[in-house]
Structure 1
Amino acid sequence: MGTSAPTPHPDTRDSLLEAGLACFAKYGYDATSIRLIASMAGKNSSLIAYYFKSKEGLYREAFKYMLDRFRGCERLEPVEPPLADPKERLARHFRRLLNQVEDHLRSRNPVQQQAARLFLSEMQCPKEEVKDLILERIAPAVQEIRDCLKAIRPGMAEADLAFWGITLQGMCMALSLHREMNKLAWPCADHTLSLEVTADRLASFACKGLGEP
């Protein structure tokens, strides 16, 4: 007599997703096994095959679950009208990015902390299973930087646009993510600067360096 398939249950699926998120964030993809995830969730490992087909399938769904539940580090807020001043527009964008990273780093929600670690690790070395999800999430932020650069330097070549976009985004993220290292390397710096002042300084530096019209 054949064994009947388990009855789908949202709580079971969510518990597997949260356990997967925790394991992937703590141990990494390669060191995480289906058995480990099932054990953390308190479920039978066969349920992972039932709901997600494979570890790869679970990883992708856990990543989607994370993106749905929490804002990605570079997700834009609801659409705001573009500012006429490109410098202020860029500063607003930097404030948004800095605040979003700060929200994740200061969160006391363990699931959000795991989500932040996993998202940032994927930003450094994205896996094929989730590249499209990451691109979809960061696309609005990338486009905003592109638009700001075009406003600051109309007619900039595409290769230069990409280079400066990567540079500005990297500067912004490094100030947030490397804070403790920055304190060690630059002890005389004012590490109490507000995010607003930091964003304004970044925007001013960028505009002057790019030759603001």
Structure 2
Amino acid sequence: MTTLPTPTPVDTRQCLIEAGLACFAKYGYDATSIRLVASMAGKNSSLISYYFKNKEGMYRAVIQHLLTRFTTRPAEGWSSAPDFSDTSEEGIKRKLHALIRRILMEVDAHFKSSDPLRNAAVRLFLSELQSPKDEVKDLLREKMVFSICEIRECIRAIRPDVSAADIDFWGITLQGCCVCHALMAEINGLVWTSVDPNLSIEVMADRLTDFVFSGLRRPERPREELPSH
């Protein structure tokens, strides 16, 4: 009789994490229990206490796994971090283009993969972006901080006169443009019925670069003073 190999601790822990990802994504954090995760994984619930201590520890491990498994950089066509040493207008625009292109590629690669857990990962990740839980805020911040610093530096190179608050406002705007185009293709096609569904990342990067660069280069008009009564 053939004897099946005994699962290793790594296999067991991984199985629990993947079951946790599926449960948290489908039922939400509050409705997911340790017993539910253990049942989906086909494991004893005591193993969750052994590996993760409690539900909060398991959730943190799931998010950490999600950020590692679904946010690795795409190998093909990847461009490294932009260099801001060239301060000429064309140099800055090239770096803005490289940054926008990279964000588009990252989002496209993460959320259009063939990974069987992709849909669950997308749902869970988007819920955390909307309302991050205290247990994982540091993980999300750590994952995003490098990209945020690059965006700030790029905007500062284009508009050195604006305040830190304005830099962050325009950074959020830039990030939102990229994510909306790369992530929301299906809903965009439903409501923006004339959009080209086959638009390549290269074309999107070109258009968004022109849009963002032109907008940032144009000084804001001073607000008109309200008439006195």
Query: Which aligned runs of 4 or more in structure 1 are off by greater than 6 angstroms?
Result: none
Q: 1:140 to 1:31 in 2, by over 3 A?
A: same
Could you tell me which amino acid in structure 1 is paired with residue 43 of structure 2?
A: K
Work out which of the two has the higher radius of gyration on C-alpha atoms and give 1 or 2: 2
Per the normalisation by structure 2, the TM-score is 0.81
Aligned residues: 204
Deviations 1:150-197, CA, capped at 9 Å, x for gaps: 111113111111111111111111112222222122212223211111
* Structure 1 contact 38–48 (Cα < 8 Å) conserved: yes
* Structure 2 contact 82–98 (Cα < 8 Å) conserved: no
CA distance in 2, matches of 1:50, 1:175: 42
Aligned pairs for 1:1-213 (under 5 A) are: 9-71=9-71, 79=81, 81-82=83-84, 84=86, 85-211=91-217
CA distance in 1, matches of 2:26, 2:46: 23
Aligned residues: percent identity?
Answer: 53
Q: 1:108 to 1:173 in 2, by over 3 A?
A: same
CA distance in 1, matches of 2:217, 2:164: 17
* Structure 1 contact 95–195 (Cα < 8 Å) conserved: yes
Q: 1:59 to 1:78 in 2, by over 3 A?
A: farther
Moved more, 172-181 or 37-46: 172-181
Consecutive unaligned residues of structure 1, counting only runs of 5 or more, are 1-7
Q: What displacement does 1:94 show?
A: 1.4
Q: CA RMSD in A?
A: 2.2
Could you tell me which amino acid in structure 2 is paired with residue 28 of structure 1?
A: G
CA distance in 2, matches of 1:38, 1:26: 15
Q: What displacement does 1:127 show?
A: 0.6
Q: 1:72 to 1:136 in 2, by over 3 A?
A: farther
Q: 1:137 to 1:107 in 2, by over 3 A?
A: same
Could you tell me which amino acid in structure 1 is paired with residue 100 of structure 2?
A: F
Q: Secondary structure at the match of 1:210?
A: helix
Q: What displacement does 1:82 show?
A: 4.1
CA distance in 1, matches of 2:10, 2:136: 23
